Amino acid sequence: MADGQVVKRAKYKSSIKDPGVPGVLTMTREKCVFKPSDPSSTAKLNIEFKSIKGHKFTKEGSNKHALLNITQDQGGNYIFEFNSFPDRDVCREFVATAIASSVEAGRTGSERSAVPLHNEQLSTAEMERRIKLLQEDSELQKLHKQFVIGDILSETEFWATRMKLLDDKASRKPKQRVGLKSDMIFNVKPSSDGQSNRVTFNLTPEIIHQIFAEKPAVRQAYLNFVPIKMTEKDFWTKYWRAEYLHSTKNIVAAAAEAAEDEELAVFLKQDDILVNEARRKIRRVDPTLDMEADEGDDYTHLPDHGLPRDGSKDVMDSQYEQYRRSFLQDLNRHAAVVLEGRAIDVELGDTRSVAEALARSKQVELANEASDGNVNQERLDRISRMAEIEDLQAPRDHPVAPLSIKDPRDYFDSQQANALKTFGDTLAGTKQMTSDLSTSEAYGSLRESISEIKAVGLRAPIVKPEVALKVLNGLNQNISSTKYQIGKNAHESVLDRLPKITRDELLLHWTSIQELLKHFWSSYPITTTYLYTKVGKLKDAMSKIYPKLRDLKESQSDFRHQVSLLVQPMLQALDAAFAHYDADLQKRSAKSGERPNGF
């Protein structure tokens, strides 16, 4: 719904009393369009969501009309009457999300159009969400206090970089479908009280669900027997009795019990539903796996031909055959059910509804399979894919879409210009190296020096030995002292060794610098006065932090070295920002010299 469009039958009313023009309301992301059924009618509407400020609606009630009132920011409003409340609600929600997204779009757009943003209209929900986020995250709160309350950033600017945070919270679905557990939970051991022969089984809804999913015969029996023939408790008692008989592996005893008790026999016998399902599924199995076909082709193993193999000996009388069941089969069945995943969407409390829902889902599956014709084709494609040897053949279809550039020269020229510009931006002041050496000259000199080195060898070392030694010593000292300070525990971070106050201070500076720099760099290139003032403010805030950092770095303590190591990159980042700011300012003033009325 959110990504598509909504089409509903509705009446357009100019006022509430108006009888309305019947027609079709189509809503897409950007706009809503109303087309009257009578083509000659003039009540055609085309409203962009951008211009819509809000919406109102009537409460659901028996004698009220399902109305939706959309308010435009110029003051106009449109009233639609729907045939039913569900229809209206669908549209209402759509309008709400559409308005929200257009507000967002407007926000980013408005930054560009330099409209001051403090008059932003916030829904209460939005506000609450932000407050909640701030409450949850103390660090965020600190930043918010420092910058927004300190009037360095506006509220919108602060949140604009955290759009994701807001979105995620909003779009996260509370309900997630839970898969089945890999465990065979119904394979529970009974608890016994140790004195009598009595054992107790604890059944949870989850266990019952698993039993029903894996043993359709039990499910069917439940639907048939409970509660007409027996109570739920009796049913499960019988079930566990049958399980017990299986676990003893005494097939003859099981057969004897089954002969006496026909309900018990249901649990003891082979699961017919499963057998049928297997027969159905075997037909759609990958032929490169189909061992059943193989058996059909095996003339060596005619009955009594060939050599007896391991395990094939325990043939038994056919009257007991149907009571045979192995744990291995249960394992296979369990894994298959887990793989299929949870098929039903019912609360697990009510046993009967679970059983019914499972039975229904099986029928749906059957119907789907019957109608699904192209499974076969898919299977064949798969086989032919599998037949190929992967590395002898260059991969067929690349998953990556090829880059399509209409005019390559145009594209690369512009790229080059961009690169040059940024180069100029960051290294403003340093001159570009220009050389008027021709290629042949350069080549000649290079060759000369190479042949010289070849002839003479590298006589003079590139670095003077004493300098090299000094650098090496300096570096080693640093490393060894750090090692000494940090100790042998590699997991301990440098921060943990610092006194708490220093650490907190450092972290605070770090986060605030990050925040500021993020805003700072995202404001370039400066195209509007709004950005210009913003950058100014940011620069001021940063230059306030700068001396603090320097103090921290220079403060005398045992950890001076570590602290300075940590502070150094921050200072460098700030220096880079200042340099860029200054360069930009110079460029700007130079430009404004030519163009005095530039902003």
Partner 1 sequence: MKFQIEDVTVYFPYDHIYPEQHAYMVELKRALDAKGHCLLEMPTGTGKTIALLSLITSYALSKPSSLVKLLYCTRTVHEMEKTLGELKLLHRYQRLHLGDAARTLALGLSSRKNLCINPAVVSAENRDSVDAGCRKLTASWVRALAVENPNIPTCQFYEDYEKAASDAVLPPGVYTLQDLRAFGKEKGWCPYFLARHMVQFANVVVYSYQYLLDPKVAGIISKEMQRESVVVFDEAHNIDNVCIEALSVSVRRQTLEGATRNLNKMTQEIQRFKNTDAGRLRAEYNRLVDGLAQRGNLPIGDTWLSNPVLPDDILKQAVPGHIRKAESFVSLLRRLVQYLKGRLETENVEKEGPVAFVGSINAQVGIDQKTLRFCYDRLHSLMLTLEITDTDEFLHIQTICDFATLVGTYTRGFSIIIEPFDERMPHIPDPVLQLSCHDASLAIKPVFERFQSVVITSGTLSPIDLYPRLLNFNPVVSRSFTMSLTRDCICPMVLTRGSDQLPVSTKFDLRSDPGVERNYGRLLLEMVSVVPDGIVCFFVSYSYMDGIVNSWNETGILKEIMQHKLVFIETQDVVETTLALDNYRKACDCGRGAVFFSVARGKVAEGIDFDRHYGRLVIMFGVPFQYTLSRILLARLEYLRETFQIKEGDFLTFDALRQAAQCVGRVIRSKADYGMMIFADKRYSRHDKRSKLPGWILSHLRDAHLNLSTDMAVHIAREFLRKMAQPYDKTGGSGKKTLLSQEDLEKVGNGSLGEMLF
- Closest approach of partner 1 to the CB of residue 44, in Å: 50
250 binds partner 1 (CB under 8 A): no
281 binds partner 1 (CB under 8 A): yes
Nearer to partner 1, 262 or 310 (CB): 310
Q: Binding string, 158-187, against partner 1, x = CB under 8 A?
A: ------------------------xxx--x
Stretch that binds partner 1, among 95-103, 327-335, 485-493, 547-555 (CB under 8 A): 327-335
Q: Binding string, 103-142, against partner 1, x = CB under 8 A?
A: ----------------------------------------
Q: Are 208 and 202 within 8 A, CB to CB?
A: no
Rule CB under 8 A: choose which of 244, 320, 327, 443 binds partner 1.
327
- Closest approach of partner 1 to the CB of residue 284, in Å: 9
Q: Kindly state the number of chain residues that form the binding site for partner 1, as judged by CB under 8 A.
A: 59
Q: Is 332 exposed, middle or buried (0-12, 13-18, 19+ CB in 10 A)?
A: exposed
- Closest approach of partner 1 to the CB of residue 181, in Å: 9
The whole-angstrom separation of Cα 199 and Cα 247 is: 15
The whole-angstrom separation of Cα 127 and Cα 352 is: 45
Q: Is the peptide bond between 402 and the residue preceding it cis, with omega within 30 degrees of 0?
A: no
Rule CB under 8 A: choose which of 3, 260, 310, 594 binds partner 1.
310
| 3-class SS string, 379-408 | HHHHHHHHHCCHHHCCCCCCCCCCCCCCCH
The radius of gyration of the chain from alpha carbons, rounded to an integer in Å, stands at: 39
Cβ burial 59-78 (10 Å sphere, 16+ → b, else e): eeeeeebbbbebeeeeeebb
Q: Which residues contact 50 (CB under 8 A, 6 or more apart)?
A: 30, 102, 105, 106
Q: Is the peptide bond between 227 and the residue preceding it cis, with omega within 30 degrees of 0?
A: yes
Element (H, E) at 171: helix 163-171
Nearer to partner 1, 74 or 300 (CB): 300
The pairing of beta strand 21-27 with beta strand 77-82: unpaired
Nearer to partner 1, 291 or 401 (CB): 291
Strand, helix or coil for residue 176 = coil
Nearer to partner 1, 299 or 484 (CB): 299
Stretch that binds partner 1, among 156-164, 230-238, 382-390, 546-554 (CB under 8 A): 382-390
Rule CB under 8 A: choose which of 93, 347, 388, 441 binds partner 1.
388
389 binds partner 1 (CB under 8 A): yes
Beta-bridge partner residues of 11: 22, 81
- Closest approach of partner 1 to the CB of residue 311, in Å: 4
Nearer to partner 1, 168 or 206 (CB): 206
Long-range own/partner contacts, residues 118-126 (CB < 8 A, 24 or more apart): 118/154, 118/155, 118/156, 120/155, 120/156, 121/53, 126/166
The whole-angstrom separation of Cα 420 and Cα 97 is: 42
303 binds partner 1 (CB under 8 A): yes
392 binds partner 1 (CB under 8 A): yes
Strand, helix or coil for residue 422 = helix
Stretch that binds partner 1, among 97-105, 107-115, 325-333, 548-556 (CB under 8 A): 325-333
Q: Give the CA dihedral 455, 457, 462, 464, nearest 10 degrees.
A: -130
380 binds partner 1 (CB under 8 A): yes
504 binds partner 1 (CB under 8 A): no
- Closest approach of partner 1 to the CB of residue 291, in Å: 5
Stretch that binds partner 1, among 44-52, 207-215, 306-314, 487-495 (CB under 8 A): 306-314
297 binds partner 1 (CB under 8 A): yes
Tokens 């894919």 sit on residue: 385
Q: Would you give the DSSP letter of residue 590? A: H
Interface with partner 1 in residues 329-358 (CB under 8 A):
329, 331-332, 335-336, 338-339
Nearer to partner 1, 60 or 290 (CB): 290
Rule CB under 8 A: choose which of 3, 228, 299, 398 binds partner 1.
299
The binding site for partner 1 (CB under 8 A) comprises: 182-184, 187, 278-279, 281-282, 285-313, 326-329, 331-332, 335-336, 338-339, 380, 383-384, 386-394
